[in-house]
Amino acid sequence: MSKIVVIQGRAVPVVGDDIDTDRIIPARYLKEITFSRMGQYPFYDERFHADGSKKDHPFNRPEYQGASVLLGNVNFGCGSSREHAPQSLVRWGIRAIVAESFAEIFAGNCVMLGTPALVASKEDMAKLQKLAAEKPGTVFSVDLQALEVKADGLTVKVTMPPSRRNALIEGTWDSTALLLANADAVKAKAAILPHPSAKH
């Protein structure tokens, strides 16, 4: 697994509280049995009219094409646990998300994809979003080691749970290998914990 320490790129502001995963990716795209096309769909119904013509949405604006940092607000990614949501953002090009707060399952899903979900204060988020809105070409630097976001002379502090940060910095964010390493201890646990079915 690659080590994820610094992410640099332009930032796209997606303003609003409680942006749920149904809005990030509508349920009809969950019918696909692979994630491969998810990059086409983030915020689909907010970006496109029924006839396919474009609505005004940050993900459609030319100045944010190729952006790699998403700037959100409160309770970003709430609702459904669908990993299709972070998958669609990551496959669109997002490498880090900074917001005022995250829904728990969504933040965990992001880390499983090697994408940090970092929290900044309301005031700092407002500054970051303002900068990205007014100077869309600005390069933002998200530093997991320093727990800072820097852009155009602005530096703000960010936080994330230490274990998730370690996993990204150390390159151990794909947890399957870590969990498999303790297979014997798991076996011992399975032997003493009751089975859910009396039929087994």
Write out the DSSP string of 161-175: -HHHHHHHHHT---H
Phi first, then psi: what are they for 156, rounded to 5°? -125, 150
Contact residues for 166 (Cβ-Cβ < 8 A; gap 6+)? 172
Looking at 8, 39, 60, 105, which residue binds another protein (CB under 8 A)?
105
Structural contact between residues 149 and 142, judged by C-beta atoms closer than 8 angstroms: yes
**What are 150's strand-pairing partners?**
141, 155
Contact residues for 94 (Cβ-Cβ < 8 A; gap 6+)? 12, 67, 68, 69, 70, 115
Looking at 3, 27, 40, 121, which residue binds another protein (CB under 8 A)?
27
Q: Which of 175, 182, 8 is nearest to 95 (CA)?
A: 8
Shortest distance (Å) from residue 149 CB to another protein? 20
Is position 136 an interface residue for another protein (rule: CB under 8 A)?
no
Is position 32 an interface residue for another protein (rule: CB under 8 A)?
yes
Is position 135 an interface residue for another protein (rule: CB under 8 A)?
no
Task: Pick between residue 123 and residue 152 the one whose CB is nearest to another protein.
Answer: 123
Looking at 58, 59, 64, 82, which residue binds another protein (CB under 8 A)?
82
Per CB under 8 A, residues contacting another protein are 16-18, 20, 22-23, 26-28, 30-35, 45, 50, 73-75, 78-84, 86, 100-105, 108-109, 112-113, 161-164, 166-167, 170, 172, 175-176, 178-180, 182-183, 185-186, 189-190, 193-200
